[in-house]
Structure 1
């Protein structure tokens, strides 16, 4: 692909290596995002029905916060880091050096089309790479604004945006890159792995899965319901770390379900389909897929839809079994299945019957159970007595495990993801320990063991 060759030639000039240059471009990007705030918000509304408030809270504002953090710390991260030198290497100096990888590809999804394009890009630029960005074809309005912003900030040989759909995706994945950062579905993630193997290209996969939410008998039910409604229905449920299903203890099940219904009504009103702050499903294909997951016999709240507006009411399904259609795939919509459990072990076994999730949540006031949840259950990341907000910080890693993804980013983790950490040792010439040279018998094992113990 011509643009990749162009970027590779530019990278070889060393133009992206000076840290001051990287920071300068990141600062320009920060100001340009601020300038285009209204256009970004409007594009998010057109693509996903997000209000300006939600668009800023969950995409624009988070991007500016992340970018500010990266600008502030890039110089420190890029400096060589000294490490202790072993006695056997006397006299020398050891250190680690961070180098950019080269020309990287970022492929982003449609559900948070601005944030999930920009945040990996911040890390790639901070680390000194050239970058090809491929936004999703399902969010065309946001993709256009992204293209406008990037073309205003960067020359094409530094950062370029490729528009289009499957044909363009295929062409990009058949091109040699030095790194691929992909956010999207598990099925496409597998394709990325297969294509990357041809060139031995390293990659990060940010995928998803069925993220569970446990509400035990010690939980503050009212608070749990409020926070779960926020996390589940943000972006109309189209969030990779949204609670996918609820495991609630039988002692508090009825109270919790009532609190859930009350909180949904309080948040979105009695007619959520008419609420301008409640988003829409991205397209007809996903709208119909979600309707197919709703078993009308198990609906205890919501269930209505508007095909013209591509909206589905917040819907609670009761007495759900693991064999139901809604439990066979990641929901990615405003449908919330409720499953009752008797013992915590039972809830744990249900979670373990699925692949490792991208996120998991526990609402409990039992400290021992909280510790068990953190240390014995495998998931990408999560919260105790809250949900989804763990990703809204630049100081913690975000990423999946197993089928929910591999690799991590945010803050320094983004810088590290797009860097190669090179171990270096600098020897001085005034002294040269002779024992490593033959004939070995001259010095004996005692002296060798003295230096290597």
Structure 2
């Protein structure tokens, strides 16, 4: 493909002409594309498993849970609800505008750019694509160059299943991404780091392009109890799954650190170590994506004060780029492992005198994408909801909110902005346009000069919805 500015412009002109033709607005076109995605996920399932194994070492069960199965469910949800979402909705109108009707009509934004990450290269390319297609847009997808097999799969197969004029996949490295950002778009959706998010926003500002950013951050997990054999086993599985079970901690909603009372810390570590023997075997976890990311994680442990806080794991195989699941207790709060998103298999535990102190601890840090809290204390739950800010809160589980179509997914503050999944994906790529229809049947003179106290009183009635007094006043029956 020609990656010059002119070459990219030529590719994008095809997509824009397709949108301007009106083809993508058709409800039948949208449904046909979603059904084609369904076929792709079914017919190419084994190939998707293969490329995810090549790029990330993902076990096919994890690949199905987090990518293929998740996407199939999402497509089904959109197909089941699309008729309702696109239907105009009635808006009530005050009497001052009588006789008038008004509807909110959903229209597509236009041509959108999706910049997807490497950790879920199929899911996080196609999930926003589902929303963009449902809303009637034309789309360009730029997958990550760090997952070449997955990106090549998308570039090869998307044109075989979807409308090649309306949906294009453009591969390439950062230089291609920069050239794409120089173009004019009707929306940019980016998933990745805050550092690159700032670059995206800066580029988008040139054309006043609206942007949605899903950025992640340091996700805390409060552990308030360790009791009951059944609850204990479930709690441990959910913590381990939330830290190491999805792309080996290389996920924006993976647990970044635990907050635990001092008296529970040692017990919790011992319990985790026992359970981890089964759940974090090397054949079940994904690879660390690149040498650069591997070295970054190793460097987090190089600090002597951090290294001294390791209570489990910490072994490193540089040849295989493997880091053993590692637990640390109370590393220095000003160390890089506690100030930067870890995005890997290292789990710090921060101990507290009392668990209620976790709220102040979190409030003193950037707003995370999600807060997890394992607690049966209803007062603590209420305080977490009322006194903290995050993209979401999940009590007594991890990750599960991500797969629920009815739950908006997105961040707040430094963890990003813009909500998607389910109808929120449709809304993200739509513009709700009010359409008013007015009649010449009547006109209220009190809307216009010359002004007097009588008209002022009529306006007061109209804006207070005091229709009875308004009508009586107009009929000359006022006191």
1:277 is aligned to 2:284: yes
Larger radius of gyration: 2
1:134 is aligned to 2:142: yes
Q: CA RMSD in A?
A: 1.5
**Secondary structure in structure 1 of the residue aligned to 2:331:** coil
- Segments of 4+ in structure 1 off by > 6 A? none
Deviation, 1:347, is 1.8
1:347 is aligned to 2:358: yes
1:400 is aligned to 2:408: no
1:58 is aligned to 2:66: yes
Per-residue deviation, residues 37-61 of structure 1 (Å, max 9, x unmatched):
0011111111111011110011110
On the 8 A contact 2:260/2:350 being kept in 1, the answer is yes
Deviates more, 1:325-334 or 1:126-135: 325-334
Per-residue deviation, residues 129-186 of structure 1 (Å, max 9, x unmatched):
0000000000111111112221112233200001010110000011110000000011
On the 8 A contact 2:99/2:439 being kept in 1, the answer is yes
On the 8 A contact 1:26/1:122 being kept in 2, the answer is yes
Deviation, 1:310, is 2.0
State the distance in 1 between where 2:417 and 2:52 align. 28
Select the residue among 363, 380, 385 that pairs with 1:369.
380
State the distance in 2 between where 1:444 and 1:85 align. 20
State how 1:292-307 maps to structure 2 within 5 Å.
292-294=299-301, 295-307=306-318
Select the residue among 59, 82, 104 that pairs with 1:74.
82
Select the residue among 401, 422, 426 that pairs with 1:411.
422
State the distance in 1 between where 2:299 and 2:218 align. 17
State the distance in 2 between where 1:262 and 1:342 align. 26
**Secondary structure in structure 1 of the residue aligned to 2:314:** coil
1:289 is aligned to 2:301: no
On the 8 A contact 1:210/1:330 being kept in 2, the answer is yes
On the 8 A contact 1:218/1:366 being kept in 2, the answer is no
Aligned to 1:247: 259
Deviates more, 1:300-309 or 1:333-342: 300-309
Alignment length (residue pairs)? 448
On the 8 A contact 1:247/1:341 being kept in 2, the answer is yes
Aligned to 1:262: 274
On the 8 A contact 1:214/1:246 being kept in 2, the answer is yes
TM-score, reference length from structure 2? 0.91
State the distance in 1 between where 2:87 and 2:188 align. 24
**Secondary structure in structure 1 of the residue aligned to 2:136:** coil
On the 8 A contact 2:356/2:380 being kept in 1, the answer is no
On the 8 A contact 1:133/1:161 being kept in 2, the answer is yes
Go from structure 1 to structure 2 and tell me whether the alpha carbon gap of 1:133 and 1:307 turns closer, same or farther (over 3 Å shift): same
1:325 is aligned to 2:336: yes
State the distance in 1 between where 2:339 and 2:456 align. 63
Deviation, 1:405, is 0.2
State how 1:205-220 maps to structure 2 within 5 Å.
205-217=213-225, 220=231
On the 8 A contact 1:132/1:162 being kept in 2, the answer is yes
**Secondary structure in structure 2 of the residue aligned to 1:344:** coil
**Secondary structure in structure 1 of the residue aligned to 2:300:** coil
Deviation, 1:24, is 1.2
State the distance in 2 between where 1:292 and 1:17 align. 50
Deviation, 1:85, is 1.4
Deviation, 1:451, is 1.6
TM-score, reference length from structure 1? 0.96
State the distance in 1 between where 2:376 and 2:321 align. 39
1:169 is aligned to 2:180: no
State the distance in 2 between where 1:147 and 1:30 align. 17
Which structure 2 residue ranges, 5 or more long, are not aligned? Answer: 1-8, 465-479
Aligned to 2:92: 84
State the distance in 2 between where 1:17 and 1:339 align. 52
State the distance in 1 between where 2:126 and 2:320 align. 28
